[in-house]
């Protein structure tokens, strides 16, 4: 079940990042207090210059306010190169000990001339169905 069409939709320097989320009960273990959420991200180059995604930085907050930061190269093992008009979509997941939480962050992108810039990933909600009214 997808919660919203897009829970987050941001544009930075011509790079649009759209996020949808899904609670995965079949991968969750509620007796042990672990919930698993999937998020699908569509990254689109709406600008006029190509860019490569180099790394990611996530800020994950659970329902108790505990914050975890995750940094690493690329996304799902890839560093997509996006020419103007091109998009890249991927799905990944996040375990949480609470029925709600949120994620936000940045992608570090690099232009052909070597300049780098951060693309904002707007905050989006991770929520078990019925956990948020």
Helix (H, G, I), strand (E, B) or coil at 1: coil
User: Which residue ranges make up each domain of the chain?
Assistant: 8-127
The CATH H-level (homologous superfamily) assignment of domain 8-127 is ApaG domain (2.60.40.1470)
| Sole residue written with tokens 């273990």 | 29
Contacts of 108 (CB under 8 A, 6+ apart): 53, 54, 55, 56, 57, 116, 117, 118, 119
How does pLDDT run across 73-132, given as a tens digit for each residue? 999 999 999 999 999 999 999 999 999 999 999 999 999 999 999 999 999 999 998 776
pLDDT at 73: 97
Cβ within 8 Å of residue 76, ≥6 positions away: 90, 91, 92
Q: Is the full-model pTM beyond 0.85?
A: yes
d(CA 64, CA 53): 31
Q: Please check whether residue 119 is in contact with residue 47, taking contact to mean a CB–CB distance below 8 angstroms.
A: no
pLDDT band for position 1 (cuts 50, 70, 90): very low
Task: Please tell me the distance from the alpha carbon of residue 42 to that of residue 18, in angstroms, as a whole number.
Answer: 5
- For residue 58, what are the β-bridge partners? 70, 105
Percent pLDDT > 90 in the chain is 89
């Amino acid at each position: 079940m997808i919660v919203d069409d897009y829970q987050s939709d941001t544009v930075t320097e011509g790079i649009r990042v759209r996020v949808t989320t899904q609670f995965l009960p079949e991968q969750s273990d509620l007796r042990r207090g672990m919930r698993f959420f999937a998020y699908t991200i569509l990254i689109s180059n709406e600008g006029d210059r190509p860019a490569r995604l180099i790394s990611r930085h996530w800020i994950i907050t659970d329902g108790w306010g505990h914050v975890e930061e995750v940094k690493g190269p690329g996304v799902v093992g890839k560093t997509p190169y996006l020419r103007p008009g091109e998009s890249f979509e991927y799905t990944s997941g996040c375990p949480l000990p609470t029925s709600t939480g949120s994620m936000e962050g940045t992608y570090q992108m690099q232009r052909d001339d070597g300049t780098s810039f951060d693309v904002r990933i707007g905050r989006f909600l991770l929520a078990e169905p019925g956990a948020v009214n």
